[in-house]
Chains A and B, each alone.
Chain A
Amino acid sequence: GQSLEQPSEVTAVEGAIVQINCTYQTSGFYGLSWYQQHDGGAPTFLSYNGLDGLEETGRFSSFLSRSDSYGYLLLQELQMKDSASYFCAVSYSGAGSYQLTFGKGTKLSVIP
């Protein structure tokens, strides 16, 4: 089975840096993804780590340590529009295809 743990809520100041952690226990692990969801909206893909290390995409970076079953999403130069829920998701193989299992999400509030 798969299980993921991430903080339920995080608050940070506009312009600051925030890190959202994710730990997982997964059989058949292939990678860790991050999705963003604004209130009442559709989740959108942010990043994917299949190998250990840091992936950078603009203001967002994501990190994976397979040996520690741990990853994080780093958001820099926070903007008010970054207020949203962030989900980590593990990619695993099952029934001939890859599936995702999502964490419960971290609600990020950016304050002025």
Chain B
Amino acid sequence: DGGITQSPKYLFRKEGQNVTLSCEQNLNHDAMYWYRQDPGQGLRLIYYSQIVNDFQKGDIAEGYSVSREKKESFPLTVTSAQKNPTAFYLCASSIDGRDAKNIQYFGAGTRLSVL
């Protein structure tokens, strides 16, 4: 089955710790995205990548970092500089981001909490 796999489903971070959220897709999509969702809120864009080895900051990139070394993978690191990391993190992909329709397909999400 083609899709987007996020892991882990639940993650706990200690103070001062960096944690990495995994996102893998087998849809052969060029574009990938990371969103943060807080309770009762919409999705806010953290980072996006249109092609391998290239990525751009979204609206709330501070305290986060990403890499795109392979087309299939777009991991997100929540660094210790992110002071309020507790949220639901969603990874998405789209064919290439060059179509205004830009249908995005989402993973099941990772719920991050601070210990």
Q: Does A62 reach chain B (CB closer than 8 Å)?
A: no
The CA of A95 and the CA of B106, in the complex, are separated in Å by 22
Nearest chain B residue, comparing its CB with the CB of A93 = B100
When distances are taken between beta carbons in the complex, the residues of chain A under 8 Å from B97 are 97-99
Q: Does A87 reach chain B (CB closer than 8 Å)?
A: yes
Chain A contact patch, size range: 20 to 34
Of B35, B48, B100, B103, the contact of A30 (CB 8 Å cutoff): B100
A to B contact number (C-beta, < 8 Å): 69
Chain A interface helix/strand/loop/mixed: strand
Q: Does A102 reach chain B (CB closer than 8 Å)?
A: yes
Chain B contact patch, size range: 20 to 34
Known: A97-B31, A97-B50. A104 touches B103 (CB 8 A): no
Give chain A interface residues in 63-112, CB to chain B under 8 Å: 87, 91, 93, 95-105
Of B40, B44, B98, B106, the contact of A98 (CB 8 Å cutoff): B98
Scan B74-89; emit 1 where CB is below 8 A from any A CB, else 0: 0000000000000000
The CA of A30 and the CA of B97, in the complex, are separated in Å by 13
Find the residue from B90, B99, B105, B108 having the highest chain A CB count within 10 A.
Answer: B99
B101 and A50 within 8 A (CB): yes
Known: A43-B90, A104-B42. A99 touches B102 (CB 8 A): yes
Chain B interface helix/strand/loop/mixed: loop
A101 and B45 within 8 A (CB): yes
When distances are taken between beta carbons in the complex, the residues of chain A under 8 Å from B50 are 96-97
Nearest chain B residue, comparing its CB with the CB of A103 = B42
The CA of A27 and the CA of B105, in the complex, are separated in Å by 24
The CA of A50 and the CA of B90, in the complex, are separated in Å by 25
Report the 4 A-B pairs with minimum CB-CB distance, sorted nearest first.
A97-B97, A30-B100, A42-B106, A102-B42
A interface vs B, CB < 8 Å?
4, 8, 30-31, 33, 40-45, 48, 50, 87, 91, 93, 95-105
